[in-house]
Every structure is written in structure tokens, then in C-alpha cells.
Chains A and B, each alone.
Chain A
Amino acid sequence: MARVNDRRPDPSELLRRVQAAERRELRGRLKVFLGYAPRVGKSLRMFDEGRRRKVRGQDVVVGAVQGPVSPEIQSVLERLEITPQAEGGAIDLIALFKRHPSVCLIDGLAQSNPPGSCNPQRWQDVRDLLDHGIGVITALNIQHIREQQDEVERITGKRAAHSVPRDFLHEADEIEVVDAPAEALLEGAEVVNMPSARQLLELRELALLLAADIIDRQLQEYLDEHGVVARWGAQERILVGLTPRSSAVEMLHSGRRNATRFHGALLAAYVEQGELNSADRARLDSNLALAREMGAEVHCLHASDFVQAILEFGREQRITQLFIGHSMRYGRKIPWRGPIDRLIDAADEFDVRIFPHRECE
């Protein structure tokens, strides 16, 4: 998890974004309905959006229908054109390329294709449709996102057989979360295969946070592309300012706890200012190691002025809280303004939290 990061997107990252933007122009648009469990109503929402788009004049075709179809979904499907699926349930890619609708509705994104199909996985079929300039609206549950499967298994004790890589979601132009109370899912369900009410709550939370993270990333890309500097992000971002003698352990533990509770990010920065004696060096190294261990993004800044460096870095990283240790001198009354005072005076964008100095560290 921990890594030393470059402070700005590097040229290859920028190039990747430009290329992605170019690809996007030619590519079909991808929209994903994301649900937290079966029966939450994703499929109905997806097909209903297709129906409404068709009413508004878009050329919409159904490419895949999944599982038992409820009467509600059936009545929506009756008003849509359907391209029949091939033997074994795979999407009939050839037929869809030929038909070339502007929007194709694909349910059950995580399905695997039978042997002998063009692609082993349905999400790869979707990628092909997009590459051919066909827009796709699809539906997916979080237990089918590969990177979430460990977490889902921890909650429910079960693991879905099929999965879609999270990267695929990052390609989506739009993700819509389908949220509903857990009780609505449990009502009239065959309880045997359903998670418990508590598990459903946890899955709901997981789905919302995943979507929030994806949106945050997309928003940041959008802001970068448009050269907009956001003053206060939607996510809490905590920066721990490390020095050799600060109470790093307490700050990092508190930082971790805060970041976890807020589902935010934890960063740690150290300002390199010339040579340290060996005892201070060792202390600093162990603090940096601890920061990495706690999953903080660790940055080393090079600057002659500690305060200026921390301020600039904090702004650049859209920090919402800065954790900093007491200066030793705060033990007595001082007639001049120290670095912490300067930080407080200048930090208008983020809170400054001052930690006590503990002697025995």
C-alpha cells in the first residue's frame, strides 16, 4: 500500500489521459448500474432507462437478459427490441455489430461465456461493443468486482464464481448506484441464499464507498484536465508532518484512525533539511517505516523552509487536516512566533491539529 509518490501526474500519466480522452471520442459510452446485492433492482432500472431512451428517440437494443425475469422487467422488455443470445447464453456479438444500435443493454455483466465464444468473459464482449462505437448500459453487483471479492467474502462467507476487474469500472463514463433498504430485498426472498440483514448493511456501505472512490478519482481527473484547483475536496485527507523528534507514533495512530473512520486518505511528509545526527536519522527512519506500515502515502519534500514546504504540499494534495507535533520550545513562554504559529496563520485551507510532545519517545 505504502509508496513514495511523485507530487504531480508524470508525463506518461498525462499521455495516458490524453490517449484515453481520444479513445473516448470514438468509443461508445459505458454506463454501469451498481448494486450491493441481488434483487436490489439494478436490472429493472437499466431496462427502464433503455425504454425511456427509446421513447426519446434513441436506437436501443437488448443484448443480454439474465436469470429469472420478474413480471415488472418482462413488461419493460416487451417494449424493447431484443437481439437473441447465442447458444449457451453468450451475447451474439456478430449480430450486434451488424445491427449496430446506438445503445445496447447488457444484463449480468460478470457472466462467463461458454467455450468457443469470441471472449471468455462477457465484460470483454462489452469492451468490443464499445470499441465498435456502440454505447452500453449494463448492471453489476459488488460481489462480482474482483478487487472487492475478499471483502465481500469476509462479510458473507461466500465468493462469487465470476468477476469483473475494477479497472473496467474506471472506464465507465457513468456509474449509478442502486440503493434500497435491505428489508425490501429480504421480503419474500428465499432466505436460504440471501445474506443476513446485517451483512446486507455492510454490503450497502461497501458499494457506496466504492462508488464514492471511483467518483473521487474521476472528479480529480476532470479537475486536472480543466485546470481547476478544488479548495475543499469531498474526501477527508489527513497529512502527518513528521520530524525526527515529533510524537510520530501517536500522530500516525490517530491519523490512521481518523482516516479509517472518515474513509479518507492518510499521507505523511518529511521535509529534508540538511544533515541529521545518527540518533535523529534512526528515529526518523523508524517513523517513516511506521508510516508506511500504517498504509500512509509517504512523501519526502526537499526545501529549506519547513513551513513553506508543508503549506505548499498540503494545498497541492487537497489536505483537509494537518497533524503536527508541538515544538519543544512550547514548554515555556516564548516571545517570538515559532513555526507552528506561522503554519496556523497561513493554513486557511486545512485544519491544523497540534499534538503534545511526549518526552519518552
Chain B
Amino acid sequence: MKGKLKVYLGYAAGVGKTYRMLDEAQTLRQKGVDVVIGYFEPHGRKETIAKIEGLEVVPRRPVGYANTSFEEMDTDAILRRKPQVAVVDEFAHTNVPGCERAKRWQDVDALLDAGIDVLTTVNVQHLESLNDQVYDITGVRVRETVPDWVIDTAAEVVFVDLTPRALRNRLERGVVYAPDKAQKAMENFFTESNLSALREIAMRHAAHELEEKLEPALSANAPVGGHQERILVCLTGRPTAALLIRRARRVADYLQAGCLALYVCTETSGDVDERVKRHMSFARNLRIQTHVVKARDIGASITEFAGKEDVTQIFMGRSAPLPWYKPFEETLVQQVVRQARNKQITIVAERRR
């Protein structure tokens, strides 16, 4: 049987996720459960470090990359040790190139597959579908992300709260980062309004996770009130396609709608180029089924595909303005709006800062 995943969700570094997780590990140990620490990032925090006392730690594995030695979680060693529960910090971590799996959440999945329960920590800004929103609020583009569906598979998501004021106090006292780094952090990412906004998002997301558990019948693609929503994402090679995919995924999750993506390859454009391929694999990563159609008329084939697949809502990026010498042509958005007359069409804003 697959192990159970328990996620401690926070809204920023320093709110106490790791501490809560280790607290739980200690409680389990006292009850006689076989717990080991698979990976733990102390960040030099004294109170947190004190919390691992008495817990067995599986040593990390050195990995060489670019003439430097890094340390990663030793997933194989944990699998061999086969505890009942493994504690794995920093769920969103990206492994050094050369590791068997690219992401820590994939390592965790291997542990779960082996029937090991896992306790882990993640901040809300690492959720893929919130990436743009977090960037818009904080100005920081988070690179290490976890697809939302991975968190959705968790048996339990616990929200770890601390008020922004208390967090900023901790920063000032040097509990979270070294003093010079703390000062910078407080001026940039850790401003009062950023923290409040992230915290609100995290709470809403934690509530959303609970709702998914309350209404399992509604999730996946079950019809809602006899009316099933299906969202189609129109892919392009433009960088904004990633934003489009994330937004569609998020809306589909909340509406518990199906979600699929289409790329129309024109005869002139030839094969699917690298950028489009990247977007398609990104979409598949977020569990969006991707399709490629070859056609001359992009608008018409989007409309046809949407009709055939019972799509209710089409997600598109804004069309580039028409060149001055083609004032009487239609943009792609105009074409689809005119042709797909019985569908809802959502033009996703680029939300440039």
C-alpha cells in the first residue's frame, strides 16, 4: 500500500513548519512509531536543531556537480532502511543535476510507493499554479515549484501559521537568517503587506485542500449539477503560454473542471518547435492532456476541436496587434470569439508588473 503524505504548509520561511513537523515526529517516536529523518535543513536555527534530539538521521549523499560537492537526500538508503515514517524537509527542492530524480517531490513519491509515510514542508509560493500571483505580489519569481496535483494527493495538509508581526520579530532577532540577510529580507520579500497577502493566499489554499477532501465526488471530471465544465488552453510558443497554463490549471482546480491543451501547427510553421514542446511538457506536468493538430486555419481548428471535445471554456492569450498593413484582418482572438459562438472565451491577462 502506498504511504501517506502529510504536508506542513506555510506562507514564508521562518513561520515554523519544520519545527511543527519535527514536533510531530517526536510525538510519533514516543508512541513507538519507527521514524527517521530523511532530510532536514537546520538553517542554523537553534530551537529547530534541538528538536531532532533522539531521532535517527539517515546521512545525506554527496553528489558532485561542476567540480563542487553537494549533499542530497539519500533516497536509496531510506528505502533500504524502510522506516514506517520518513521526515523530509523542503518538498519543493530541486536536486543537483545528475541525481536519479530531478525533484525532491519525486524522491518523496518513491518513498510513498515503497509504503513509507512521509512528513514534509512547503511554502505556498512553491505551488505551481500560484507562481504568477506570488510574483505579482512580491516581485520575486520562485524557481522551485511543485505541481498542485502532488499536494492534492496528500492525505493531510496542515496550515502552519504565525502572524507577520511575529515573523518580522523573529527576523529582527536573527532567528531566521543571519542579521545582514535578515535586514535585506525585511526590506524586500518580508514586508508587512507581502507577508499578509501570502498568508491570505496560503489560508485560502489550505481551505481549498480541505474542500477537495470534503467533496471527492465532485473532483476529477464528475459532472457538476448535470453540467460538466471543460477548459481548453490554446498553446503558443510565446513565453506567456506558461502563465496561461498555470491560470487555467488553477481555475480548473477550483471549478473541478476538466482541463486540456491544444497546439495548432500550421503548414508554414512546420514541426512543433522547442518552445512549444517545453510548454506542452509543462502542461502535462500539471496533468493537462495535450493535443497537437495540423491545420491551415488556426481559429477554425480551435473551434472545431473545442466542439468535438465538449469544451465549455477556451483560455487564450491576448493576440498580438495586427500589423498596420492588415487593418481589415481579424486577430486570432476575434476569430475564435466569432466562430466558437456557444463557448465562453477567457483572455488571460499578462499582469505585467
A interface list, Cβ under 8 A from B: 31, 173-181, 183, 198, 201-202, 204-205, 208-209, 211-212, 215-216, 218-219, 222-223, 226, 228, 230-235, 254, 257-258, 261-263, 321, 326, 330-333, 335, 340-341, 344-345, 347-357
Contacts and interface: CB of A to CB of B under 8 A. Distances in A.
A200 to B, nearest CB: 10
Given A174-B166, A231-B351, A205 B200 contact: no
Given A181-B156, A232-B137, A263-B204, A347 B214 contact: no
A230 B220 CA distance: 33
Give the interface centre of A31, A212, A254, A340 by most chain B CB atoms within 10 Å.
Answer: A212
B142 interface: no
B254 A205 contact: no
Contacts of A321: 346
B268 to A, nearest CB: 22
Given A222-B192, A232-B137, A177 B197 contact: no
Contact of A261 (B137, B255, B352): B255
Contact of A179 (B136, B160, B333): B160
A355 B346 CA distance: 9
B13 interface: no
A208 B207 contact: yes
Given A205-B207, A326-B337, A232 B200 contact: no
Contacts, number: 152
Interface in B123-178: 133, 136-137, 156, 158-163, 165-166
B338 A208 contact: no
A142 to B, nearest CB: 13
Question: Which A-B residue pairs are the 9 nearest by beta carbons?
Answer: A234-B200, A208-B207, A174-B163, A212-B203, A179-B159, A232-B136, A177-B161, A205-B210, A219-B196
Contacts of A235: 200, 204
B350 interface: yes
B318 A177 contact: no
Q: How would you classify the secondary structure of chain A's contact residues: helix, strand, loop or mixed?
A: mixed
B200 A215 contact: yes
B206 A234 contact: no
B318 A344 contact: yes
Interface residues of B, number: 57
B200 A356 contact: no
Contact of B200 (A176, A212, A258): A212
A147 to B, nearest CB: 18
Max chain B Cβ within 10 angstroms of own Cβ: one of A215, A226, A330: A215
A216 B199 CA distance: 10
A317 to B, nearest CB: 15
Contact of A333 (B158, B213, B330): B330
A219 B162 contact: no
A231 B197 CA distance: 11
Interface string B326-353: 0110110110011001111111111111
A208 to B, nearest CB: 4
A347 B200 contact: no
Contacts of A340: 337
Given A215-B203, A231-B351, A333-B330, A31 B163 contact: yes
Interface string B235-261: 000000000000100000011100000
Contacts of A234: 133, 137, 197-198, 200-201, 204
A356 B344 contact: yes
A226 B346 CA distance: 33
6 contacts: A208-B206, A261-B255, A321-B346, A348-B351, A351-B348, A352-B346
Given A215-B199, A356-B344, 19 more contacts: A208-B207, A215-B200, A219-B200, A222-B196, A223-B193, A231-B136, A231-B137, A231-B353, A232-B133, A232-B351, A233-B197, A234-B200, A330-B341, A333-B330, A335-B327, A349-B351, A353-B313, A354-B346, A356-B342
B273 interface: no
A28 to B, nearest CB: 15
Contact of B214 (A174, A205, A216): A205
A275 to B, nearest CB: 29
A219 B197 contact: yes
Interface string B173-215: 0000000000000000000110011111101101100110110
A176 B161 contact: yes
Contacts of A356: 341-344
A177 B203 contact: yes
A235 B203 CA distance: 11
A353 B345 contact: yes
A228 B330 CA distance: 39
A263 B201 CA distance: 11
Nearest to B196: A219
B344 A175 contact: no
Given A330-B337, A333-B330, A212 B204 contact: yes
Contacts of B327: 335
B31 to A, nearest CB: 10
B338 A344 contact: no
A124 B317 CA distance: 54
Contacts of A201: 210, 213-214
Contacts of B341: 326, 330-331, 356-357
A198 B214 contact: yes
B70 to A, nearest CB: 34
Interface string B70-109: 0000000000000000000000000000000000000000
A233 B192 CA distance: 15
